[in-house]
A = this chain, B = another copy of it.
């Protein structure tokens, strides 16, 4: 090819965008050395409000534009880096880039999770590449290992902590006995949680990331809408205390398994054994454990977010894209050929922790056990603590053997009809 340098355009100049621009400028020599060709930042599309921000002020002002057409019409634009986040207009920008002959590098988990397959097709038609290492796990190499190193394995399962905000909150709750709401405020103060934390604490962000990993690992399209997600706001101190007593930690886990012709994919709080590796992943760290039939368990651990780790992943994608341009090899495989069914949540089997408040009188446990037995739910252990004399109630905690989710849900409905059961305080799935 005749190109003498690779021109890069940047969409978005927030903290991540600012850091990526800095890496492209300050590490130009490393990028050149690794890509075999100079990589030059040619244009940055910003919002008018961004123009006042320090990362805009520190840049060569001629690189900045607020105009879409000016950005996309920049001569010599080979790669577009999309860092604006959210579904729209990021999706439209990525499409426009691909349709006008530009390779795309994206850190956008939502767009890739929801539209990755369609975008990959568009890229393939155009003989362009679309890379998104930064979309999952920040600076932890994850996408490339699935694309390259684990490729011959049949992946049996993925168990991942892929949301730093919730892991930080759960770590604070576990270590310091903070309430959920206090821990959330702390996370917001530290800049680990957004003012509107819904996407993180409800498991939506983790579901986006799991959709991407699942699609890669099982080579079958899994959409975020097919992934059950449940957040962490129901967890209380009491749950952490029982978990500890029973030998478990509580984590927001993203789980995907392949069983026969079906895929299981879900995000929810889970009890995991205290001595497991994932139990030891604290604070804003992320960890992804992959169970390959050849490799056995392989675990990737690191900081899952932040401008520096994200800029590392984005820059690696830019180098890989540039190498591809130089060699004429621009394809990047992500064409799930099959579409396996995703198992409905009601059909999953796992163990359960159930905590409930009951009337402190004889026969309560017998009635509860009777209902569980009717639904083929076998009890592994029961804890009944001292009762509350004033309220005349007691707290019962039940750990079940592996049971069907729909059986548990049906048992809960029947518990509600028991006068003796005041409240089902919480239930958490147990992954051992």
CB distance from A329 to the nearest CB of B (A): 4
List A150-203 residues whose CB lies under 8 Å from chain B.
Answer: 150-153
Contact with B along A312-344 (1 / 0, CB 8 A): 110110011001000111000100010000000
Asked if A309 meets B328 with Cβ closer than 8 Å, knowing A34-B333, A133-B149, A319-B152, the reply is no
Which residues from chain B contact A313 at a C-beta distance below 8 Å?
A: 149
CB distance from A120 to the nearest CB of B (A): 15
A298 and B301 contact, CB distance less than 8 A: yes
Which residues from chain B contact A328 at a C-beta distance below 8 Å?
A: 327-329
B149 and A296 contact, CB distance less than 8 A: no
Chain A residues within 8 Å of chain B by Cβ, number: 48
A312 and B294 contact, CB distance less than 8 A: yes
Contact with B along A355-392 (1 / 0, CB 8 A): 00000000000000000000000000000000000000
B329 and A309 contact, CB distance less than 8 A: no
CB distance from A295 to the nearest CB of B (A): 3
CB-CB nearest in chain B for A275: B280
Contact with B along A127-144 (1 / 0, CB 8 A): 000000100001111001
CB-CB nearest in chain B for A296: B303
Which residues from chain B contact A139 at a C-beta distance below 8 Å?
A: 292, 294-296, 298
Interface centre among A303, A315, A316, by most B CB within 10 Å?
A: A316
A88 close to chain B: CB less than 8 A: no
Q: Considering the chains assembled together, what is the distance between the CA atoms of A150 and B296 in angstroms?
A: 24
Asked if A312 meets B152 with Cβ closer than 8 Å, knowing A34-B333, A277-B301, the reply is yes
CB-CB nearest in chain B for A302: B298
Which residues from chain B contact A299 at a C-beta distance below 8 Å?
A: 299-302
A63 close to chain B: CB less than 8 A: no
Partner of A311, one of B27, B280, B294, B333: B294
Chain A interface SS verdict (over half): mixed
A47 close to chain B: CB less than 8 A: no
Partner of A309, one of B31, B295, B303: B295
A144 and B149 contact, CB distance less than 8 A: yes
Q: Considering the chains assembled together, what is the distance between the CA atoms of A299 and B327 in angstroms?
A: 31
Interface centre among A145, A150, A292, A309, by most B CB within 10 Å?
A: A145
A294 and B308 contact, CB distance less than 8 A: yes
Asked if A23 meets B152 with Cβ closer than 8 Å, knowing A144-B144, A327-B328, A333-B34, the reply is yes
Which residues from chain B contact A303 at a C-beta distance below 8 Å?
A: 295-298
A148 close to chain B: CB less than 8 A: yes
Asked if A23 meets B294 with Cβ closer than 8 Å, knowing A277-B280, A313-B149, A327-B327, the reply is yes
Chain A residues within CB distance 8 Å of chain B = 23, 27, 30-31, 33-34, 133, 138-141, 144-145, 148-153, 277, 280, 292-303, 308-309, 311-313, 315-316, 319-320, 323, 327-329, 333, 337
Can you show 9 pairs from A to B with CB atoms below 8 A apart? Answer: A140-B298, A141-B149, A141-B150, A149-B312, A277-B277, A277-B301, A294-B311, A299-B302, A300-B301
Closest 9 CB pairs between A and B? A139-B295, A141-B149, A327-B329, A294-B312, A298-B302, A152-B315, A299-B301, A141-B145, A294-B308
**Can you add 8 more A-B contacts, CB < 8 Å, to A34-B333, A139-B294, A139-B295?**
A133-B149, A141-B144, A141-B298, A148-B320, A152-B316, A294-B308, A294-B309, A294-B311
